[in-house]
Structure 1
Amino acid sequence: MRTRFKHAALFSVKLLLSIAVLVYIARGLDLRQLRDHLVSVDPVLFVVALALIFFQTFLLNGRWELIMRALGVSLDWLAGWRILMISLWFNQVLPSSVGGDAVRMWLLRQRDVQWPEAVKGVAADRFTALIGLIVLMVAGLPFLLSRVSNQAAILAIGGLTVAGVAGTVVLLTLDRLPKRFIALPAIASFVRFGTLVRFLLLQSDHRALLFGSALLIHLVTAAACYALARGIGAQLSVLDAGILIPPVVLLTAVPISISGWGVREGAMVACLGLAGVPSEEALSISLLLGAISVIIGLAGGAIWLASRERGSYAADKAAKAAEDAPSYGLGNEASSHP
């Protein structure tokens, strides 16, 4: 009962935050112009953006399959894609603590994958995606400096990039610290996880493909945003989309709202504004991208309704799996890498 109350309270707080941010952004805009952008979007370019995000699910599944294979888990491609699509549905309807990642772990367990491998596979997949974002942001910094004159924005995005690089380097090199320090229970889990990710990116047989997919997936999101921008007549260049969309994706990943709603819109308005895109157009792009995410999520929901696991699903068990992730996948029971 206490766990359910906590999840309900968390969901309510995130929902209120999403609504509050959306209202705050919209109150200073021309809502009639915003509506016109949304209803007059070029249907062909909207379908192109939808097709790109749908294609992205195959890339996501391919990256995840490579990680699971490196962990010694054989995951059938279609089964993995099905699990991924179901997780996207849960991302739309549940707070992060019982969202898609927890469901992915639970569904893997139904296929006789042990908890340590399930948790490590999902966590490593998430962190690999984060590294891909940071690399793109580092690559985009020189172009940002040459195209944007807003010093505060440059400092903000540059600071976010530097923090991401520093955090990644620290995590991947934790095992180089004195043994008495990394033996502490609070640190040991992160040491093992950092060693695992380093193995995946530097030593696994498919490291080049894994790293390349981590970059390509985010570039697909940028391409979809570019298509939506052209669909509403916004003047956004391909280069600006490639530079400014990764920070939006990174900020959207912060788990403080429902499925990124509100945070994504605020980040999109702020970042695309640096390229001269009016706020109404930037907000329209974000809302259309959110609508595409909902459509993809609904497809995952249909797969979930037809799945045999639905009858045995227990949200409490999935939530507990997510809460116990450090002890399952990154703690003393788990090896650092295969």
Structure 2
Amino acid sequence: MQSRFKQAALFSVKLLLSVGVLVYIARGLDLRQLRDHLVSVDPFLFVLALALIFLQTFVLNGRWELIMRALGVSLDWLAGWRILMISLWFNQVLPSSVGGDAVRIWLLRQRSVQLSKAIKGVAADRFTALIGLIALMVAGLPFLLSRVTNQAALLAIGGLTLAGVAGTLVLLTLDRLPKRLIALPAIASFVRFGTLVRFLLLQSERRGLLFGSAILIHLVTAVACYALARGVGAQLSVVDAGILIPPVVLLTAVPISISGWGVREGAMVACLGLAGVPSEQALSVSLLLGAISVIIGLVGGVIWLASPERGSYSADKAAKAAEEAPGFALGQGKEASSHP
């Protein structure tokens, strides 16, 4: 009972934050102009963005399959894609304390995958995506410095990038700490997780394909946002999209709102504003991207309705199965690994 109360309280806080940020952003905008942008978006470019985000799920599944194979788990491609799509249904359409990652772990357990490997596979998939995102932000810093004059924004994005680099390096080198620290229960699981990710990125046979797919996924998101921006008449270049969308994705991944709603809109308005995109157009891009995520989630919902595991599903069991995952809280936000 107490656990459910905490879950309900957390959900309420996230909901209030999402609504509060959206209301705060909308107060300073021309809502009629925003509505015009949304209803007059170029249908071809919207469908193009939708197709890109949908095709992105296949790349996401391919990356996850590589990780599971490295763990010794043979995951059928179609089965993996089905699990991924179902997780997006939970993550996008039915946000709760039990996110899509918990459902992924639970569904793997239904396929007799060991709990430890299921947790490692999902957590490593998340963190690999995060590393790809940070790498893209590092690569974009020189372009950012040459195109943006707002010093506060440069410091914010630069600081966010450096913090990501530092955090990644710390996690990947935790096993270099003194043995007495590594043995502590609170650190030991992160040490094992960091060692796994380091193996995947530096020693596994498919490391190039794995890291490349992690970067490609975020580039696809940037191109989809570029298409949406052009669809509402915004003068956004491909280069600016490639530089400014990754920070939006990273901030959206922070699990403090409902499926990233509110946080994504605030970040999108702030970041695209650096490229001269009016707030109304930037917000419409974010809302359209959110709508696409919901559409993709609905596809996952249809798959879930036809899933044989649906009859035995329990939110409590799914949450319990995922509690041991290092950094699992990241999975409760909008992923840095898939749709922003």
Q: Give the TM-score range, shorter chain.
A: over 0.9
Alpha-carbon distance in structure 1 between the residues aligned to 2:294 and 2:2: 30
**Does 2:267 align with 1:270?**
no
User: Is the alpha carbon distance of 1:273 and 1:51 closer, same or farther for their aligned partners in structure 2, counting shifts above 3 Å?
Assistant: same
CA distance in 2, matches of 1:127, 1:139: 18
Deviation for aligned residue 1:157: 0.2
Alignment of 1:13-24 (within 5 A): 13-24=13-24
TM-score (norm 1): 0.95
Contact 1:7 1:95 in 2 (8 A): no
Aligned residues: CA RMSD = 1.3
Task: Give the partner amino acid of 1:28.
Answer: G
Which residue in 2 is equivalent to 1:335?
Answer: none
Give the partner amino acid of 2:45: L
Q: Describe the superposition over 1:130-164 as per-residue Cα deviations: whole angstroms up to 9, x where unpaired.
A: 00010000000000000000000000000000000
Counterpart-to-counterpart distance in 1, 2:205 and 2:73: 15
Query: CA deviation digits over 1:225-266, x for unaligned, max 9?
Result: 000011011000000000000000000000000110000000
Q: Which residue of the partner structure matches residue 11 of structure 1?
A: 11
Tell me the residue number matched to 1:232.
232
1:172–1:195 Cα contact (<8 Å) kept:
yes
Distance 1:88 1:26 in 2: 27
Alpha-carbon offset, residue 222 of structure 1: 0.1
Residue 325 of structure 1: SS of its match in structure 2?
coil
Counterpart contact for 1:148–1:154, Cα < 8 Å = yes
- Equivalent residue letter for 1:203: Q
Aligned twin of 1:136? 136
Distance 1:299 1:128 in 2: 25
Per-residue deviation at 1:319?
Answer: 1.1
Retained in 1: the 8 A contact 2:124–2:197? yes
Asked if the contact 2:273–2:279 (Cα under 8 Å) also holds between the matched residues in 1, the reply is yes
- In the alignment, is the contact (CA less than 8 A) between 2:18 and 2:263 conserved in 1? yes
Q: 2-side partners of 1:312 and 1:85: how far apart?
A: 18
Residue 326 (structure 1) shift: 4.7
Number of residues of Structure 1 aligned to a counterpart in Structure 2:
328
Q: Which residue of 1 aligns with 2:332?
A: none
Matches of residues 1-338 of structure 1 in structure 2 within 5 Å? 1-95=1-95, 97-326=97-326
Runs of 4+ in 1 over 6 A off after TM superposition: none
1:256 aligns to what SS in structure 2? coil
Structure 2 runs not aligned, ≥5 long = 329-340
AA aligned opposite 1:16: L
Q: CA deviation at 1:303?
A: 0.4
Distance 1:326 1:267, change over 3 A: closer
For residues 327 and 278 of structure 2, the distance between their equivalents in structure 1, rounded to whole angstroms, comes to 47
Deviations 1:30-81 (CA, angstroms, capped at 9, x unpaired): 0000000000000000000000000000000000000000000000000000
Percent of paired sites with the same residue: 89
- State whether residues 10 and 95 of structure 1, in contact with CA within 8 Å, keep that contact through their aligned partners in structure 2: no
Q: Secondary structure at the match of 1:98?
A: coil
Q: Given that residues 11 and 94 in structure 1 are in contact (C-alpha distance below 8 angstroms), is that contact kept between their aligned partners in structure 2?
A: no
What secondary structure is seen at the aligned counterpart in 2 of 1:72? coil
The answer to whether the 8 A contact 1:97-1:322 is kept is no
Residue 324 of structure 1, CA deviation: 2.9
Structure 1 unmatched ranges of 5 or more = 329-338
Which sits farther off after the overlay, 106-115 or 90-99?
90-99
Change (3 A) 1:10 1:93: farther
Q: Return the alpha-carbon distance in structure 2 between the equivalents of residues 175 and 217 of structure 1.
A: 29
Letter in 1 for 2:118: A
Q: State the alpha-carbon separation in 1 of the partners of residues 45 and 70 from structure 2.
A: 38
Letter in 1 for 2:278: P
Q: What is the one-letter code of the residue matched to 1:322?
A: A
Asked whether the equivalents of residues 96 and 255 of structure 1 are also in contact (C-alpha less than 8 Å), the reply is no
Name the CA shift for 1:105/1:13 in 2 (closer, same or farther; >3 Å): same
Give the CA deviation at 1:3. Answer: 2.1
* Alpha-carbon separation, structure 1, partners of 2:15 and 2:93: 11
Distance 1:290 1:76 in 2: 29
